[in-house]
Structure 1
C-alpha cells in the first residue's frame, strides 16, 4: 500500500473521521486523524475487530462487543446479535422469522407507529432495531474516541447493497441516536473495491481491469464486478477510477447459515444423551452450543476433523464428539447451501455484460470465504486453479470506508480517485393520472408507470422529468422488480400559479403548462426531490415606441415629455415622430413548487420524536456507563493503593524510617480498608472510594513523606552545594572578566552564598540529631526554595550588558598629525594598543555553565 501521509493533508484544527464496517458478526473501525495516516481502531482489549453485539449483564448494565458475545451462553435473551437484520423489518418478515428458526430466544412485538418489529427486554422494556444498532455504533464511537484522544462525530458506515430505503434511513437514524453524523452510507463491496483500487492505482491503465469481489459475510452473499482504469483529467493529470458494473446478492446465504449447520450436528449428537427431550428448547444450552459451533466451523476450515468438548451443556451433561469436515459439507449440501453460491456469480457477470474470460481477478473477501468449499465453488465457476486475495478481507471494508470519509470530509484532501457506484434496483415513477411525461433526453410518453432509474444506475445521480399539468400532482416512487412503494411526493403550487397568471389582463396563456421535477438518488441510496418548478408560457402585451413620418396623420404623437427631439410636438430634424404602440411577446414564467415527501412501505421510518426519545435513552445509558467507569477507576485506584502500600511496609527502607508499632498499625488499617472494599463498600460509588482513599492517605502520609525525603535528600543537598561552589567560582572570575558587575554586586551575591550555606549546614545538623522515624527537620523542597533567590540573582548578573566603549573627543579626532598623535596614536606607537583595547572590549566572557542556574 502506498504511504498515505503525503496523500492526506489536514488542517490542524480538523477532527478525525472514521469508517465503520458494520458486519453481521464483527465490527471493524478505521480512523484517519490530522497529520497521520489511516489505521484500524483497537478496542479495549487491543483487538482489531470486535463482536457486533450489545446487551445487558446480570446487573442490568449495558455491555458491548466481545463482553456481550461472551454472555451468550449465560444470558442469551439479554444479548442482541445480528441487530442489523431488524432494521426496517416487520414482525412477519423472513428476517425476523429467521431469528426464531435459528433458535435465538428473542420475543418480538409489533410497533403500532412504524409497523416494525420491536424486541422485548425484560418485563416492561422494548427496543427498536435502530436502538440496538445504535448500541453497537455507540461502542464504535467510544473505542474510536479512546484511540484518537478526541471527540469523533463524522463517519461512513458500510451497508449491504440490497438495503432498501427504509433500512438505509434506519441506519442513518441509528447513527444519530449514537451521536454520529453519517457523511455517507457505502456499499460493503464498494468499500472493498475502493481500498483495492486506491492501493493498486499504479497498476492500472486506460484499458479496464475487471475484478470480481466474492464476498460471503456472516449474514449474506454479495458479488460485485468492478472495472478499474486510469483517466486523464485536469492539467493532464492521470488519476485512478473505478466503476461498479454489476451487483448480485443472496440475502439469506451467509456464514450464520453454515454456523447453523454445525449447530444442528452438535444438537443432534447431544440429544442422543437426552430421553425424549430436545436441547433446542433450552436457550442457555443452545447459546453454549452456538458459540462452540462458530469455533468448530472456523477450525474445520483448516483441519479435516475436530474433537468437540463442551462441559455442562444442559442438565450437568457434557458434549464430547468428533466432527469432520466431510460431515459438515454433507449437511450443508443437504441444506442446498453450496448450489446457491453460483447464481449471484452468474447474475453479476450478466449485469456487467462480461464473460468469465474477461474477468482479470477474483478477490475473495468476507469471513465465511475461509470455508474451503466456498472457495472451491468459485474456482469451479471461473475455471481457475487459484483465487486472488491481495487485500485483507477482514479489514479492507473498514479502511475503504475510512478513505471515503476522508474524501468527503472538508478537513482532509485525498488524492483524486473517481468512484462510480451502482444502485442495484430499478425504480419506477407512478403518476396519479395519465399526464404526458417526458424524461430528460427521451421522447414524451403517456402512462401511469415509467422507469425513473434503471437497475445499476450510477449514484449519486439526478433525473429530470417533465409533464404537462395544470393542477397539483401526486407522484409515487416504487421498486420496479416487486412494485413495493418507496415514497410519495405531493407537489403543490401548480394550480395556484396557473390561476394567478390567468387573472393578469396583460398575459394570455399559450401552450400547456409544464411541470419539471428533478429526482435525486443520493449517495445514501435515498430518493429526494431536489427541485420542482412550473414553466408557463404566456403571451404578454407591452408598450413600445417607434418613429413614423410627421405627416402621417394616422399616427398619434407619443405622450411623453422626453419624446421630442428639435420640435415641441415631438418632431425631430428628419421629420419623424415617436409614437407609442402596443406589442406582444412570448415569455416563460417559472414558479418554484413545494414537494412534500411521505414515506411508504410495509414499515415506516421512525420520526423525529422517536429519534429524540431514543437519543435521550441512549444518553442516560451512556451517563450510567460513565459513572460506572468512574466508580471502577476510583475503586481500582483504592485497591491498588492498599496492595502497593501494604507491600511497601515490608521494604528495608520503610523499616529505617518507621517503628514496628507504626507499621503494624498501618497494616491493620489497610486490612480493614480492604475488608470494607470487598464487603460493605463493594457496590458503592466513586465518592465513597475517594473518601476512603483520603483516610488512608492521611494515615500513611507521614511515613511516606519520611521515606521520600530520606531518598531525595542526599541528591538535593549535593546539587545545592555544587551550585553554591560554582557561583563562588564565577564571582571570583568576574572581578577581572566582567567589570560591568560591580564589587558591591559580587559582594552581595557572595553573602547570599554564605547565608545559604550556613542555613543548609544548620538544618543538616538538626537532621543528623533526629532518629530516622522522626519528622524531618527540613524538606528537600525547602532547599530548592531557599536556593532560588541566589539563582535568580546570578541569572540577573549573567544577563547584565557590557558598558559601551567611550567615543574619543571630536577635536582630537579632527586634529593634525603633528598635534593630535598623542591623542589618536600614530601607526608607529599607538595603533596597536588601541586595537588591543577594542578587541578586549568586544570579547564575550568565557563563563562556566551550570545546569542548576
Structure 2
C-alpha cells in the first residue's frame, strides 16, 4: 500500500512539472546609432501577440544614450535631457564603436564632433573616460543600454524576459544620420528640379534647415507607417515643396537569422542571411464591370492598398493580392483599361551561412577577470539607480500626500466649517498643532542642533586656550577652581560626543536625542563659571612697616667719619694724581 501511494505521489509530481507553464517572455531589440526600439512577445491571452514597448515618456523609440553627471548614471530619456548643458557627459553612437581599434574610434568621434575623452585599453580597443579615475569600455556602456532595453521589455510584458533577439545588419549606414543626409540630398535635387532656373537650395542654410527638420519628422513617421507626405511651406523664395513618400523605393533589409534549439540555446550551426528587396512598380489598373446582368449591381474595383504579404519560397516574388468580389451575375465580366497604378513588390532571398569563431585585435573579448569586474561595476550602478528611483518615488508620494491633506483641510474650512463656532475652530487648531508641531520641531532641529554643537565646540576650544594663558597672565587665580572648570569642559565634550553618536542611530522621524536648547544651556553654565573665576581680583601687594627716627639717626651718626680723616684722604688723592701726570 505504501509503495502504491509513493508511486502515485511521484507520478502526480511529474505530471505537475509537465503541466507547468513558463511565464518568461521573448523580446527583440532594434539598436541604432542614436535610437532603440524594443518589441515584446505577449504571453497573456487576449493581447496583441507582438507589441512595441513604450518607455517612461510613453514613446515607442528611446534614445540610445548613457550619461554620467555628479556621480549619477542616466540612461535614455534622462540622458537626453542634459545633452545641451553637458555634451561631454552624454555618450552616443556606441554601437558604431564596439569591436573597432582605438584609432578608428578616435577618428570616428572627431568626424562626428563627439566631445568624448577616448583612451586606449590593453587590447587596442577604445575606452571612454568618465572622470579622472573612472573609465568604461565601449562594451560596458553598450551593456548598460541593452540592460535598459531588457528592463523596458519586462516592465511592458509584466513578466521576466529570458531570451532576447538582436538583429545584425550588413550596412550600419542604412538608417540614422546617414539615411537622413541621403534623403535631404534627394529632396534638395527634387526641389531644384521643380523650381528650375539654376536654383540650388543647398546655398541657403535656412532652407536646408527646414528641409532637414521635415526629413527627420518624415523618417520617424515612416518607422511605423508605409507612407508619409513631405510638405515644407515657403522652403525658399516663398515656394512650397511637397512630395509623396510613396515614390521612394524602400531600402534593402538584411537580417541574420539563427535557429534556437529545443533547450533554448542559440545554435550557430543553422544560420542564414535573409535579403528582402522592396520597390514600387507601376502596373495596369483594371476595373471589372458586369454586363447583361439580371440584377443591377455597381462596379467592383481593385483595392490598390490591399497587399498579400505572405512569403513564398526563397526566390519567390511577392505582389499585392487582388480582390475578386463576385456579384449575382450570370455573364462574364469585361476588363476596361483605366491606366496604371503603383503597387509594392517584395522579393526575399535566403543564403545559408557558416559561422566560424575567429577573434583578433580589438575584437578579442574581455578576459574572465575583466568580465567579472565589469559585471560588478554594472551591478553596483544598477543598485544605485534603483535606490535613486525609489527615493524619487517616495518623495513624489510624500508630496502628493501633503497636497491631498491640505485640500481636505481647506475643504472643511470653506464648506462644513463655514458656520462653525470659535470653540470648534480652536479645537481644530489644537488637533492640527498636536499632529504637526512635532514635525516642525524635528525639522527645525535638523539645522539648529548641528549649529549649536558647532558653536559649543568652538567655544570650549577657545576657553581651554584661555585657561592655559591664565597660568602666566593671572597666576593668582585659585588652582582648584581652574581645575574644576577644566573638568567640566571635558565632561561637556564627552556628553556632546555621546549624544551625537546616539542621534546618528536614530531616524529623522523620531524625537531627537538632544536638542539645541540643551546645548546652549550647557554652554551658558560653563560660561558663567568661567566668568566668575576670571573676575577674581588680583591681591594687593604687601606694604613694609615705617622705621623709627631714633634708629635712623643712630645709623646715620655711625656712618659719618671725622673731618680730619676725610681731609687727609683727600690730600693723598691729590698727591697721587700729579705723579700720574708726570709719568704720562
Would the TM-score normalized by the shorter structure come out above 0.5?
A: no
Q: Which has the higher helix share?
A: 2
TM-score, normalising length from structure 1? 0.32
Rg bigger for which structure? 2
- Relative contact order, higher structure (CA 8 A, sep 6+): 1
